[in-house]
Structure 1
Amino acid sequence: MSNSSDPSWRQVIVVEDDADIRELITAQLNRERLEITAVGSVADLRTALEEIDADLLILDLNLPDGDGVEVCKALRAENYQGAIMIVTARNSALDRVLGLELGADDYLAKPFEPRELLARVRNLLRRSRVIDGGIPRTARFVRFGPWRLDLNHRRLVASNERLVMLSSAEYRLLSQFIDATNQVLSREELAPERSATVAYDRTIDIRVSRLRQKLASEPGGEDLILTVRNEGYILPGPVAFE
């Protein structure tokens, strides 16, 4: 099921060396308005990325010619802008945290329920920077408050050209706020990988606090991210793309 000539269709690459699981994921995704490319190795992924401007990668960690975590890290270093979801049998807390810190947007353990896979894919594509209404593909900077966000190098630029580096987690968090300017984002929306425990898990609050500290280092940046009691957080506009 495909229609690559229709720009409303999203491009997804499934990277899975197990043919049965690869076919299962592809079959589930074919129910959606998606253009699916399925590959079984890092080399085939690299070839596919030369031809496809993918909106989402569904990435296994145990690949015959490389480790998925390292692939994720390398792609983010190369400024791959699409969403990355890790789907793997490696379900240790260390693997999960490492994958998310190195640039993955979500982490799903095998075996998984097909409906959960679809729900997570839909969520990632909704909030991906490359979909309609998000950050334009041609943008180099996003200007908000006293800051510019350098999209190529993932860093903040102050009015005097002072640079503030962002971790992968901080960059993803700020991108979520920019994509949803003037909208309240719940903790579940900001951390879907922790949705089951987010009510008791203060990780997202710590991430927001660290990001706020960096934004507050420039005059006028103290109140860029506001807390909405019992609901979540919001980045009031305006923002401008350059």
Structure 2
Amino acid sequence: MGVLEAFDTITEPHAARILVVDDEPAMQRMIVTYLNEQNMRASAVSGRKGLLHTLAVREPDLILLDLHLGEDDGLDLLRELRGKSIVPVILITGHRRDEIDRVVGLELGADDYITKPFGMRELLARIRATLRRRTMDSLTPARRSEHRYGFDGWLFDQRARQLTSPAGDAVALTKGEFALLSAFVAAPRRTLSREHLLQATRLHEDVFDRSIDVQILRLRRKLEDDPRAPRFIRTQRGAGYIFDVDVQIG
């Protein structure tokens, strides 16, 4: 369960730190060796204990997480991780038919996935693309003007990308849910059309989030005591949706 340290290679001063969470030694060595050859700083752990230890010492720039670990369930580990950190995560899935696991993983906050068997060049491209998106997000004016919002005991910290329930529990949000809630808290008690929400969240760019109504349903399940009788996100028939609660900006 210990850390498989990265091989001693000379890397760039600002080389991305990549943590591989996989319980197959051969896969660990192959990925770590290749990424280090590409001027990254890679290391590997085999499960939950190693991952949590690494996060406590220093958070990596990106995590590669195998969903099919021996002793630990990958989705449970991702759920726990998202309660502690917003570090980018790319899932490694074992079979192309594991579509449900991939979708659930994305809903839990994973940034991307790659399916075995995969080529190292594709993996590298996905890592670079994920890191690039995260960097660009942090530089946009919208990110610089992010706030902490409070409503009915809930706390929504945009900069930390965290939603906390009135009981103090961290609630994981997908990228689509985060963008949707951001649109709502910015315009409380105002009716927002589906077209406005689609434009504000840019869900049409995500193959897994084409329907704003599906995103509304998922967000209701996380916010509402009874999603069938919502009191926060109410439907305005023929007009759109309204976030019907007072919102405080902290």
Under a length normalisation based on structure 2, what TM-score does the superposition of the two structures give? 0.59
Instruction: Output the amino acid matched with 2:105.
Output: G
Residue identity in the other structure for 1:217: I
Deviation, structure 1 residue 155 = 4.3
Distance 1:42 1:166 in 2: 18
Aligned residues: 191
SS at match of 2:139: coil
* CA deviation string 1:170-208 (max 9, x = no partner): 245569x9xxxxxxx795xx43xxxxxx5xxxx433149
2:242 aligned with 1:217, yes or no? yes
2:100 is matched with which residue? 94
Q: Does 1:23 align with 2:29?
A: yes
Q: CA RMSD in A?
A: 4.3
Cα distance between partner residues in 1 of 2:92 and 2:126: 11
Quote the residue 1:52 is aligned against: 58
- What's 2:199 paired with? none
Aligned residue type for 1:16: D
Q: Structure 1 pair 65/30, CA: closer, same or farther in 2 (3 Å)?
A: same
Alignment of 1:110 onto 2:135: no
Written as runs of structure 1 = structure 2, the 5 A alignment for 1:139-154 is: 141=147, 150-151=157-158, 152=160, 154=162
Bigger Cα Rg: 2
Query: Secondary structure in 2 aligned to 1:95?
Result: helix
Q: Distance in 1 between matches of 2:54 and 2:210?
A: 37
The verdict on how the C-alpha distance between 1:51 and 1:96 changes in structure 2, with shifts beyond 3 A counting, is same
Contact 1:170 1:207 in 2 (8 A): no
Aligned twin of 1:236 = none
- The DSSP-based 3-state class of the residue aligned with 1:13 is strand
Query: Greater share of helix residues, 1 or 2?
Result: 2
Letter in 2 for 1:36: A
How far apart, CA to CA, are the structure 1 residues paired with 2:138 and 2:161?
22
In the TM superposition, residue 209 of structure 1 has moved relative to its aligned partner by: 8.3
| Residues 1:13 and 2:19 aligned together | yes
Where structure 1 has 5 or more consecutive residues not aligned to the other structure, the ranges are 157-164, 178-184, 192-197, 220-241
SS in 1 for 2:109: coil
Judging changes above 3 Å, is the alpha-carbon distance between structure 1 residues 110 and 209 closer, same or farther for their aligned structure 2 residues? closer
Secondary structure in 2 matching 1:82:
coil
Task: Quickly say closer, same or farther: Cα 1:38–1:62, change in 2 above 3 A.
Answer: same
Aligned to 2:87: 82
Query: What is the DSSP-based 3-state SS (H/G/I as helix, E as strand, rest coil) of the residue aligned with 1:20?
Result: helix
Match of 2:130 among 103, 124, 128: 124
Q: Deviations over 1:3-60 (max 9, x none)?
A: 58x3x22221011111111112112212334221211222111111111221110001
Counterpart position of 2:211: 206
In structure 2, C-alpha distance between the alignment counterparts of 1:51 and 1:130, rounded to whole Å: 26
CA distance in 1, matches of 2:21, 2:39: 19
Q: Distance in 1 between matches of 2:51 and 2:144?
A: 24
Q: Distance in 2 between matches of 1:26 and 1:166?
A: 29
CA contact 1:12–1:35 (8 Å) conserved in 2:
yes
Identity over aligned residues, as a percent? 27
**Change in CA separation of 1:61 and 1:130 when aligned onto 2, cut-off 3 Å:** farther
